[in-house]
């Protein structure tokens, strides 16, 4: 059985991905309602009842909106670090049964290995992941104000990378719907990556092993999918990285499922 990855949705209003290996069926974040997660899983012939776990990057609502219902109704194991659990319990006003890991830890989850690493974002203890599977390494690097050397080093081994390309700086600065304080937060070193910053990350981590690059967490108000795609495409062309397939993750609909065959 191959390894399959589906970005169920990604953007300012919700983020969730589904990964299936021969032994594991995981969500990476659960930023939609349970109803919406069920609907999106059903579109690829899957159901939340069969999930074996949920990996959580951090406690912001666009990453955990459906988490409480998934745990309460379906008793699906949640994997996060202690500060994230404490933040979630504070939000929900009740205990949350989690399988805790230390940030920076590497642990096995069924037939895959999970590498966690710290990222700079305005949450309690946000993390990125590198998931090592039989079909290849899958990196998740979203929700960060800048790319640290640690984060770059961790995802450099990715064959598939889900990378934040949140905003266009000018569109953000000119956006009439966002207060200046929020703009400052997004632009800060603990906010979100711009299109140009994402392109810089891609250049830093580029290798012959990277085959698929998903642009994720694209802002509805302060970015345009085609603009994010064009900025990254130009950078990939400049690097001569014609071997990398570039994809846009959508807020509204799941991406086509990516199938990764074991060598």
Structural domains in the chain (count): 1
Q: Among 235, 169, 173, 248, which residue's Cα sits nearest to residue 205?
A: 235
At 195 the three-state DSSP class reads helix
Q: Which residues contact 39 (CB under 8 A, 6 or more apart)?
A: none
List the structure tokens of 87: 């933040």
> 52-79 in b/e burial notation, b at 16+ Cβ within 10 A?
ebbbbbbbbebbbbbbbbbbeeeebebb
Q: Which residues contact 225 (CB under 8 A, 6 or more apart)?
A: 215, 218, 248, 250
Inter-CA distances, 128 with 47, 58, 143, Å:
25, 9, 9
At 69, which CATH number? 3.60.15.10
Note down pLDDT in tens along the chain; length 263 residues: 899 999 999 999 999 999 999 999 999 999 999 999 999 999 999 999 999 999 999 999 999 999 999 999 999 999 999 999 999 999 999 999 899 999 999 999 999 999 999 999 999 999 999 999 999 999 999 999 999 999 999 999 999 999 999 999 999 999 998 999 999 999 999 999 999 999 999 999 999 999 999 999 999 999 999 999 999 999 999 999 999 999 999 999 999 999 998 77
**Does the model's pTM come out above 0.85?**
yes
Distance of CA 83 to the CA centre of its chain: 19
Q: Among 173, 174, 170, 178, which residue's Cα sits nearest to residue 195?
A: 170
**Residue ranges making up the domain that contains 136:** 3-260
Nearest-angstrom CA–CA distance, 138 and 158 = 5
Ordered DSSP codes for 111-177:
TEEEEEEE---SSSS-EEEEEEETTEEEEEE-S-SS--HHHHHHHTT-SEEEEE--B-HHHHHH-TT
> 146-179 in b/e burial notation, b at 16+ Cβ within 10 A?
bbbeebeebbbbbbbbbbbbbbbbebbeebeebe
Distance of CA 251 to the CA centre of its chain: 12
């Amino acid at each position: 059985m191959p390894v399959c990855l589906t970005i169920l949705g990604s953007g300012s209003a919700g983020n969730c991905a589904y990964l299936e290996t021969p032994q594991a069926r995981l969500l990476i974040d659960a930023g939609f309602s349970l109803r919406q997660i069920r609907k999106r899983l059903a579109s690829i012939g899957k159901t939340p009842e069969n999930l074996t776990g949920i990996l959580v990057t951090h406690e912001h609502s666009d990453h955990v909106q459906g988490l409480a219902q998934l745990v309460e109704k379906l008793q699906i194991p949640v994997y996060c670090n202690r500060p994230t659990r404490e933040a979630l319990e504070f939000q929900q006003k009740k205990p949350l049964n989690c399988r805790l890991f230390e940030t920076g830890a590497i642990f096995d989850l069924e037939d895959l290995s999970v590498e966690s690493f710290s990222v700079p974002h305005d949450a309690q203890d946000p993390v990125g992941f590198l998931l090592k599977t039989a079909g290849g390494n899958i990196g998740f690097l979203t929700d960060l104000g800048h790319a640290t050397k640690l984060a770059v080093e961790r995802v450099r081994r990715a064959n598939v990378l889900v990378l934040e390309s949140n905003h266009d700086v000018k569109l953000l600065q000119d956006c009439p719907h966002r207060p200046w304080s929020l703009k400052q937060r997004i632009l800060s070193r603990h906010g979100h990556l711009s299109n140009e910053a994402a392109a810089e990350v891609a250049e830093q981590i580029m290798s012959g092993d990277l085959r698929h690059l998903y642009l994720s967490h694209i802002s509805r108000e302060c970015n345009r999918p085609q603009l994010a795609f064009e900025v990254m495409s130009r950078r990939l062309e400049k690097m001569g990285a014609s071997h990398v397939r570039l994809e846009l993750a959508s807020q509204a609909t799941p991406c086509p499922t990516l199938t990764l065959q074991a060598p």
